[in-house]
Amino acid sequence: MELGQSIDLASLGSQLLVGLSRAMILFIVCAGLSFVLGVLRVPNVAHGSLYMIGAFSAYSVFALFGTSSTGFWLSLILAPFVVALVSLIAERALFCHLYQREHLMLLLFTFALMLIFGDLVKIIWGAEYRSVLAPSILRGSISIFGSSLPRYNLFLLIVGPLVAIGLWFFTSKTKIGKISRAAAVDREMVGVIGINVSWVFAGAFVLGCFLAGFGGALVAPTVSISLGMDHDIIIEAFLIVTIGGLGNIWGALVGSLIFGLTHSFGVLLWPQFAIVFPYAAVVIVLLLRPRGLLKSVW
Amino acid sequence: MKRGTIIIIVVLIAIAAAFVYYFTRPPKIVRPIKVGIIDCYSGPPAVFGKDALNGFKLALAEINKEGVLGAKIEFTTRDTKFKVDIGLSMAKELVMRENVDVLVGTISSGVALAVSDYVRREKVPFIVWISKSERITGQKGHRYVFSTGENTALAGKAGGVALAQKPYVKYWIAGDDYSYGHDIAHAAWRNLAKLKPGVKKMGESWWKVGEPDLIPYLTAIQAAKPDAVIFATGGRSMANVLKAAKTTGMAGKIPIWIHTATDHAVLKPLGPEAPEGVMGTMDYHFYYPDTPANKAFVKAFQDAYGEPPGFPAFHAYMTGHFIAEAFKKAGALDKEKFVDALEGLKIDAPVGEVEMRACDHQAVLPIFLGVTKKVPQYNFAISSDIVTLSGKDVMPTCEEIKKARGK
């Protein structure tokens, strides 16, 4: 066994910020997954595909506007709406007929959808790797605690909390948000008092998928956009919402922080086996709290 | 002479000529030559699978103008989905149901090794065109498996030779935690340590294949302050490594060597984001060598598919011509004669003459060592200051192969 280099405060600080910024992307994607799980009770395996479609759409918007920084900012705004539109069609055409089915059936259905979306992406965008260029203001890195931190990660550290505040405002201050929360707890009751549950569900589903698309658009400049992104994120996303508490958005935040930070500190501590740390954390959490850290709505 | 005698003589001469023609004409085969392709056409590796298929199609278009032994070469493809079990069952299906004469493929070393084991028992020739594991024609090599692609032994030695000339002492090794990553890292380090015994390995980092976020790894490596870093990565992780090296500022501060970093399939999508000054080794560039043979190949490919060929297309194109030439040399549609004919066969490839070495069935390919650089004529970075290492200099010797195979 060979441990990493002597760990100093500077490298701890930079790993903390890098880990937090990764956690922000995970949070945005997982909050959407958790929201759909909570309100609709659908374990949406195709959530990762919507994240991938978000990234590819971001590329298309970016390319359409001549790969400029305007293109980048527009891609952040438009790509999630493309995904929202796709999910609205999927919801009205397919999902809305299936809510009463058992979970295993839904799991199989969304799995099939993931394969279909994967092939559609290949047909539309092809198999080549794509890349989005961050605007010059977010390129390069700055020096913090004596070690370098990419500016884009700092940007993520600003966007993540903004999304969290927005979600908090939506779920606890707006009427539709409150109805969604109520539907998550008791959907019959919400129907009984005369609310059109079908459209509440559609809205909740589209919002959840919008977040997946936004996550995909945000991650686009940091990775090579390619087929297989869906598989990469979906397992992590399910683990995160499970340890956070199924259906609980704040659980998704806690889970993402655990996942992101154990990963980045693991890299520093034991770089050869860093892969293990987030998963070990998941095992520990599930041993101690099998239903997740925060209250699960299931 | 009577008229009758003349007629008889003419008829006899005609019959004799017909006999001579019948027994001395090139042997004809009645059915087309069937090639079975197993490769990955889904998921992230699809980009390489598609490129290889295009290269092979181009070779067949040229070959089938004249035909081989009076027949055409046909092919059937099967998608391995990058999975060993699927790849193996597809190979079995092609051999048993489609009765293919030759199997070719694939990008996955895992699939290649499994299929290689199968074809040894079935005695069907199998030509590997992308997978880079040195075990395919090294330790696990046998009579029926060939490789037209470069492998980790060649590339690792090329990297070792290149790095040994540099003044760096303290190294960090990082890469994809799978067969190729460990093989290429091990091969480069083994050769470097042999050529320059003073080098020291500070540490290693391994991430899972497809890991989207490499920044924590790179910031941690930078904090350790190595003299140089060897990245063992490929495919889409390569683009992620190059992006992260640029955004964290590592590329400007710490020298980096990565096999295939100079591949245009990686550098093109990165566009202006590609870091400059990264050392890379590659066995093919569409812009190098600047010879008529390569230019002709690139032009034909560009006209047919609208983009320049990548290294998989180059390998597959060569494979097509190796198959055609070997059947011509064998003179019959016979698997054993084909294997014998392919051993030591030389063909004219876009990079010059390439030999299929008889002792290990490995194509002798030159390796191009270069540094990523932005140039005005392309809107993406290319390999510059290219040094060509000849295949003979970077390949394991036949004795080393024998030792690896335990004979």
Domain ranges of chain B: 33-150+290-364, 153-282+367-394
Q: Which of A181, A202, A226 is the last residue of a domain?
A: A226
> A116 — contact with chain B (CB < 8 Å)?
no
Q: Which of A193, A226, A259 is the last residue of a domain?
A: A226
List of residues 6+ apart from A196 with CB closer than 8 A? none
Domain that includes residue A236, residue range: 228-298
Q: Which of A211, A226, A241 is the last residue of a domain?
A: A226
pLDDT of residue A9: 76
Judge if A191 and A74 occupy the same domain.
yes
Instruction: Report DSSP state, residue B346.
Output: E
Instruction: Please count the other Cβ atoms lying within 10 Å of the Cβ belonging to residue A257.
Output: 19
Judge if A118 and A220 occupy the same domain.
yes
A137, part of any domain: no
What is the edge-to-edge ordering of all strands in the sheet holding B200-207?
Answer: B200-207, B170-176, B228-232, B256-259, B279-282, B367-374, B381-389
Domains B33-150+290-364 and B153-282+367-394 are alike in CATH topology: yes
> Judging by beta carbons within 10 Å of its beta carbon (0-12, 13-18, 19+), is residue A208 exposed, middle or buried?
buried
pLDDT of residue A4: 46
Judge if A102 and A206 occupy the same domain.
yes
Identify all chain B residues contacting A268, using CB atoms and an 8 Å cutoff: 216, 220, 223
pLDDT of residue B125: 96
Nearest to B216 among A5, A19, A152 (CB): A19
Q: Is the pLDDT of residue B89 over 90?
A: yes
Judge if A294 and A191 occupy the same domain.
no
Q: Report the percentage of chain B scoring pLDDT > 70.
A: 97
- pLDDT single digits (tens) A4-32: 455 677 788 888 988 999 999 999 999 99
Judge if A105 and A190 occupy the same domain.
yes
Can you tell me the ipTM of this complex? 0.78
Judge if A177 and A257 occupy the same domain.
no
- pLDDT single digits (tens) B236-274: 788 889 988 988 889 888 999 999 999 988 888 888 888
Q: Is the pLDDT of residue B27 over 70?
A: no
A26, part of any domain: no
pLDDT of residue A247: 85
A20, part of any domain: no
A4, part of any domain: no
Put simply, the answer to whether B236 touches A268 (Cβ < 8 Å) is no
- pLDDT single digits (tens) A138-189: 888 888 777 778 889 999 999 999 999 999 999 888 888 888 888 877 778 8
Q: Is the pLDDT of residue B13 over 80?
A: yes
Query: What CATH class does B33-150+290-364 carry?
Result: alpha beta
B244, B366, B386, B254: which is closest to B314 by C-alpha? B366
Question: What CATH number labels B153-282+367-394?
Answer: 3.40.50.2300
Amino acid sitting at position A164? A
> A226 — contact with chain B (CB < 8 Å)?
yes
B202: which strand partners? Answer: none
- Preferred mutation among A56, A72, A223 to probe B, highest tally of B CBs within 10 A: A223
A232, part of any domain: yes
Put simply, the answer to whether B248 touches A271 (Cβ < 8 Å) is no
List of residues 6+ apart from B61 with CB closer than 8 A? B304
Q: Give A288's pLDDT tier (boundaries 50, 70, 90).
A: very high
Put simply, the answer to whether A147 touches B202 (Cβ < 8 Å) is no
Put simply, the answer to whether A268 touches B240 (Cβ < 8 Å) is no
Backbone angles phi, psi at B333, to 5 degrees: -90, 70
Nearest to A274 among B205, B266, B272 (CB): B205
Count of CB contacts below 8 A, A vs B?
A: 149
Helix (H) / strand (E) containing B34: strand B33-39
Q: Is the pLDDT of residue A3 over 60?
A: no
B404, B368, B365, B374: which is closest to B159 by C-alpha? B368
Judge if A85 and A61 occupy the same domain.
yes
Put simply, the answer to whether B220 touches A130 (Cβ < 8 Å) is no
A263, part of any domain: yes
A5, part of any domain: no
Structural domains in chain A (count): 2
Judge if A167 and A242 occupy the same domain.
no
pLDDT of residue A1: 36
- What average pLDDT does chain A have? 88
Q: Give A298's pLDDT tier (boundaries 50, 70, 90).
A: low
pLDDT of residue B25: 61
Q: What is the rounded CA–CA span in Å between residue B260 and residue B281?
A: 5
Judge if A153 and A122 occupy the same domain.
yes
- pLDDT single digits (tens) B289-320: 899 999 999 999 999 999 999 999 999 999 99
A79, part of any domain: yes
Judge if A222 and A243 occupy the same domain.
no
Q: Please give the model's pTM, rounded to 2 decimal places.
A: 0.79
Identify all chain B residues contacting A223, using CB atoms and an 8 Å cutoff: 212-213, 236, 239-240, 243
| Mean pLDDT of all residues in B86-96 | 94
Radius of gyration (C-alpha) of chain A in whole angstroms: 19
Which residue of chain B comes nearest to A128, CA vs CA? B47
Judge if A219 and A233 occupy the same domain.
no
CA-based nearest distance B40→chain A, Å: 11
Q: Is the pLDDT of residue A83 over 50?
A: yes
Judge if A121 and A249 occupy the same domain.
no
